[in-house]
Amino acid sequence: MFRNILIFCFVFCCNFLQAQNWQLVWEDDFDGTDLDLTKWMHEYGTGSQYNMWGWGNGEKQYYQSQNTTLSNGVATIEVKEEPSGIIDSWGATSYYSSSKISTKGIFDFRYGKVEARMKTIDGQGFWPAFWMLPIDGDWPCDGEIDIMEQWGGNYFTNGTTGAAHLGTCPYSQSSHFYQNFSTYISSGSYADEFHTYSVIWKEDTITWFVDDNEIFSIDPSSYWSVPSQHDWPFNTNQWYIMINLAITQSGPNANTVFPNQIQVDYVRVYQDNITGVSDVIYDADFINYSQDYLSFENFDYKFKNLLIYNLDGRISSNHDVNGKSKVNVGHLNSGMYIIEIEDFDGNKINKKVIIK
């Protein structure tokens, strides 16, 4: 992946205060009249092109781009009946169409707050989802994070769920594990108005929220199989976002209304902005990046040590600089980091960077 450092903060001391101060790093407010293809891509078909029948779940819909439209700052994914049928790459016929949008290959990340404001759907057989998978991952060993899933009931959709999956590859039912929750609205339906669905995802922790209310949280100890048999996969890889409206294998019934839709007001990704205050010791702008190296060659002072922290304050890398003018950071994954550099007198400065 193309790697570049965008430096956007000021100098602060090594004993920085770790605070949850969200910095918006990606968003789509669905302005305009067409889906922004610099942020999203469309999935097509039934999954047969990936040798997955019904996207691996026996789903009945055929995904196509024209079922996603934008108007008045809202993205609409519409599900329709297709009386003439749509034939997939296996020659199978689908009698429903819908859409699935994804940031795969366009935007991916690890850790942060991921949120969407959505108005969902009533009706038996409907299955809207807002979820994440790792780039080039295998399922379920590399994990799955379901921020929101709902299954339409016979009349009202009064429950919403979220889950995190892990297991071994290739898939085996006996070694596939997940933790999930269900929460219910006190009256009416989640389809009556817009609601926010989000996770705060940190190292070793995922926490779910509905309308900013904390609902559920997990860590490695939530799975009896971690770490004795299977790895906790949520601290590795870069992950992408998906939103889709599926038709379950059991399908609709006589009360299910077509055409129908879900609406998305926005999707946002934040990362934690570690802040602090200190006296300025040096101007940290002398730190430069080129071809996987942090360099200090344009500064006439010598440094002893360099630490790189992730956003949870854990050390990602420790370098004995000892007067050298550059350090290789090509091993770092994309994300936000704090660089702490120390001179031979024990003075330290810190600078925040985003590595992409």
27 a catalytic residue: no
Closest to 143 (Cα-Cα) out of 161, 168, 111: 168
Radius of gyration (Cα) for the chain, nearest Å? Answer: 23
DSSP symbols for 107-140: --BSSEEEEEEEE---STTEEEEEEEEETT--TT
Which tokens is 307 given?
Answer: 């630490």
340 a catalytic residue: no
- Residue from 43, 59, 115, 149 carrying the catalytic annotation: 149
Q: How far apart are CA 76 and CA 63, in angstroms?
A: 14
> For residues 117 and 265, is the Cβ–Cβ distance under 8 A?
yes
**Whats the size of the chain, residue-wise?**
356
Q: How far does CA 345 lie from the centroid of its chain?
A: 42
Question: How many C-beta neighbours within 10 Å does residue 54 have?
Answer: 19
> For residues 121 and 260, is the Cβ–Cβ distance under 8 A?
yes
- Residue from 43, 78, 115, 144 carrying the catalytic annotation: 144
Task: Cite the active site residues.
Answer: 144, 149
